Amino acid sequence: MKTIIKTIDLHKIYDPETHAVHAVNGINLEIAESEFTAIVGPSGSGKTTFLNMLGGLDVPTKGEILINDVRIDKLNSSQLTDFRLNNIGFVFQAYNLIPVLTAKENVEFIMELQKEPKSKRTIRAMELLKAVGLEDFVNKRPGKLSGGQQQRVAVARALASKPKFVLADEPTANLDSKTTESLLDLMEKLNREEQTTFIFSTHDPRVVNKARRIITIEDGKIVSDVKKD
């Protein structure tokens, strides 16, 4: 499988001039197309910081991040925004849906930023909402949806732009067991059928059980990297 993400000697240091905190401390990693990977570790281990750097939401202090051979750590703010828009999908713990937009409009929003024609946006949004089991809720705003339904909209939105990979930061933290299982089954299905690469940052053993690769980070370093058969 083709390598789509590569980090070389990646570091993130907070407050380097006063009380230096090495949130990420020299991570070298490669992730291939179609992987279903969980990044785990105790609170404060650096996994969320690492995920944010992969998504271009945080800038490394030192090191390289290559996505499809593009050095995203060298991109300026405007270039990075465009790159994220066209290459990376995000699923956050807090859903981050736009409250005044319907489920369909939330999914369409990324494609609108990509300047896709309305007809194409509508078809893609409806396909995705059907895929996540929300075809009967397309005109509901987030406030009228349950937590699990909102997270399904967030997954559909993350996939709308046909990203190279999806970063999911604690996506099941606010969900009950039944909803979590259903959501993970959905993402596993999308991974298998559409070859979408998923990378999770998680404490949730249910996510870890589903993952086919488990990377453990402690004190900003990879201490274990296990691929399941």
CATH number at residue 173: 3.40.50.300
- pLDDT for 97 equals 93
Residue among 21, 29, 16 nearest 63 (CA): 29
Split into its structural domains, the chain has a count of 1
Q: Which domain holds residue 165?
A: 3-227
* Number of alpha helices (DSSP H) and beta strands (DSSP E) in the chain: 7, 10
Q: What is the mean pLDDT of residues 35-41?
A: 95
Of residues 16 and 66, the one with the higher pLDDT is 66
Of residues 228 and 108, the one with the higher pLDDT is 108
For 159, list phi and psi in degrees, rounded to 5.
Answer: -90, -10
Buried b (16+ CB within 10 A) or exposed e, 111-138: beeeebeeeebbebbbebbebbebeebb
Q: Of 86-90, 114-118, 144-148, 161-165, which range is least confident?
A: 161-165
Q: Does the pLDDT of residue 22 top 80, yes or no?
A: yes
* Phi-psi category of residue 34: left, alpha or beta, with phi > 0 → left and psi -120 to 50 → alpha: left
- pLDDT for 174 equals 78
Q: Does the pLDDT of residue 16 top 80, yes or no?
A: no
- pLDDT for 228 equals 87
- pLDDT for 63 equals 96
Span 120-166, pLDDT tens digits = 999 999 998 988 889 999 999 999 999 889 988 998 999 898 888 99
